[in-house]
Amino acid sequence: MRYSAAMRARLSDIAQQADVSEATVSRVLNDRPGVAPETRQAVLTALDVLGYERPARLRKRSAGLVGLVTPELENPIFPAFAQVIESTLAQSGFTPVLCTQTPGGVTEDEYVEMLLDRQVSGIVFVSGLHADTAANHDRYRSLITRPLPVVMINGYVPGIAAPFVSCDDREATELAVAHLVALGHRRIGLITGPDRFVPVQRRVAGYRAAMQRHTGLTEAELAELAELTLFGVEGGEAAASRLLDRGVTGIVSGSDLMALGAIRAARQRGLSVPGDLSVVGYDDSPLMAFTDPPLTTMRQPVAAMAVAATGCRMVVS
């Protein structure tokens, strides 16, 4: 097979990336024998890394569709989950189908019906209705009886025979409080989402336990230092403003976006962060390292959680 100058340039790039000869790259691309399996895989990986499309003969046949249902993508943590889950599924031969919810848009139940119509091999839910204690969870029981492999990230429903993958929200909040106490703070507030959500309940429990242990404040005193509101920048700003009126000097947030709202509330009052107010976020979203100053935040181990979820036997069986 003769190659154009442009193709030879691509062959050179791939060969350099895979640390093999151009002749070896050519043999792999033409699916010829005589190439060690590990060398063949190195060339295919180089193709993927450089953004070149694999020849049709070298593409894996899809092992099936897997639905990925996520909330809105405005919070950077959800695109982070989606990216790792989609990549991991693709490496296992599955074709991911991303279903993103938006206020007033397609609901979780409607997405599930669409996915079932397409005969998906499984569904991964990220921070879905399984995290909402006020929701009717019979929908998940029905899914499992089909039977359909289902995995749920960040949330928990008792009695559902499915894998649940979460980080330790309670422990993370306790660590955040301990960090602020070590900085000399005693009047520390908590801002997070509505208390019907399982992760919120865990964070509130961790906050109360840590504050009682480190500061000795009573339940009544702690009640006025916790503001449960809507997730997001606006919710964080409003909640932080109320806490600043009550004299807090440190704030533990339920998300990075809420933490940004708290910082905005402080700066609107002429306060500096962290000089006058210390703020701790939650998620360690990719962009938080570029805030001024960089946001102190509790990291959700997105990669580990996503790999654990997609590696569950119930999804890939």
Rounded to whole angstroms, the maximal C-alpha distance in the chain is 80
Q: Note whether 296 and 281 are within 8 A (CB).
A: yes
DSSP, res 267: H
From the centroid of its chain, how far is CA 36?
37
Instruction: Convert the pLDDT of each residue in 305-317 to its tens digit.
Output: 998 998 764 444 4
Sequence letter at residue 147: P
**105 pLDDT tier (thresholds 50, 70, 90):** confident
DSSP, res 197: B
pLDDT, averaged across the chain = 89
Q: Which of 158, 98, 145 is nearest to 123 (CA)?
A: 98
Lowest mean pLDDT among 168-172, 218-222, 250-254: 218-222
User: In this structure, what is the dihedral angle of CA atoms 109, 113, 118, 124, given to the nearest 10 degrees?
Assistant: 20
Strand order of the sheet with strand 64-70?
Answer: 94-100, 64-70, 122-126, 150-153, 164-165
Instruction: Convert the pLDDT of each residue in 228-270 to its tens digit.
Output: 999 999 999 999 999 999 999 999 999 999 999 999 999 999 9
Residue 34: pLDDT over 90: no
Taking the C-alpha atoms of residue 277 and residue 231, their distance in angstroms, rounded to an integer, is 20
Token code pair at residue 13: 């790039």
Instruction: Kindly report whether the global pTM for this prediction surpasses the value 0.75.
Output: yes
Helix (H, G, I), strand (E, B) or coil at 13: helix
